[in-house]
Amino acid sequence: MSDIKDFEIVDGILVKYHGRDGEVVIPEGVTAIADGVFQFSKKVTNVTLPNSVKSIGDNAFFECRNLINITLNDGITNIGVGAFAKCISLTSIVLPKGITTVNDHTFGYCRGLTSVVLPDTITSIGECVFLHCESLKYIHLPSELKSVGKNSFSGCQNLERIDISDTNPFYTIIDGNLYTRAGNTLIATIKKDT
């Protein structure tokens, strides 16, 4: 388990982690995790965030290949670009209710990711958010979703089911695939039985 001496904190922002333990418990009072703090860490496996954390910086956990679990509190309002990209051991994630935008590349190349829960507060999904999440089988999209960036679901070759509310004015499901409401732009396809 991490110790307070393992953290460099400046004005409530975690700027560096010096610990050797894979079980990281970020201290209460930390309000933000700076860009790239845990980037490329091979040791981090589980992260516990206090309720005081409101923001996770760009690439904060980028390529933490052994990260299995992180619990995100509902007070978090921002998760930076590529924050969890290439976390290949991460299998599921529940995004907090405070999030309205999933930034570009947030989960790109998370090859072990099978389950994602997006709260109804999300109105925008950036570019390449789930790019090559090869194990992703199901995703329920928020009813208030207004925009999905390019290639957000490219390479999700095992996606079997996509759900979105019938009342969403911007997107619809046709033959199991996600299209713009007008039906003229394909956004994501599901795996077809052969």
Chain segment 133-172, per-residue pLDDT in tens: 999 999 999 999 999 999 999 999 999 999 998 889 999 9
Is residue 30 in a domain? no
Neighbour tally for 172: CB within 10 Å: 17
| Residue 110 belongs to a domain | yes
pLDDT at 47: 97
Give the residue from 37, 141, 28 showing the smallest Cα distance to 75. Answer: 28
Q: How much is the mean pLDDT over the chain?
A: 94
| Domain range for 177 | 39-194
In a domain, 29, yes or no: no
What is the DSSP-derived secondary structure letter of residue 5?
G
CATH of residue 106's domain is: 3.80.10.10
The side-by-side arrangement of strands in the sheet containing 13-17 is 7-10, 13-17, 32-33, 55-56, 78-79
The residue count for the chain: 194
Determine contact, residues 111/91, Cβ cutoff 8 Å. Answer: no
Q: Are the C-beta atoms of 181 and 168 separated by less than 8 Å?
A: yes
Specify the pLDDT at position 168: 92
Q: What is the greatest pairwise CA distance in the chain? A: 56
Kindly state the percentage of the chain with pLDDT values over 90.
87
- Given a contact cutoff of 8 angstroms between Cβ atoms, the answer to whether 176 and 161 are in contact is yes
The tokens describing 111, both together, are: 């090859």
Q: Is 26 a domain residue?
A: no
133 assigned to some structural domain: yes
> Does residue 4 lie in a domain region?
no
For the segment 78-115, what is each residue's pLDDT rounded down to a tens digit? 999 999 999 999 999 999 999 999 999 999 999 999 98
What pLDDT sits at residue 194?
52
How many domains are contained in the chain? 1
Dist CA 106 CA 129 (whole Å): 5
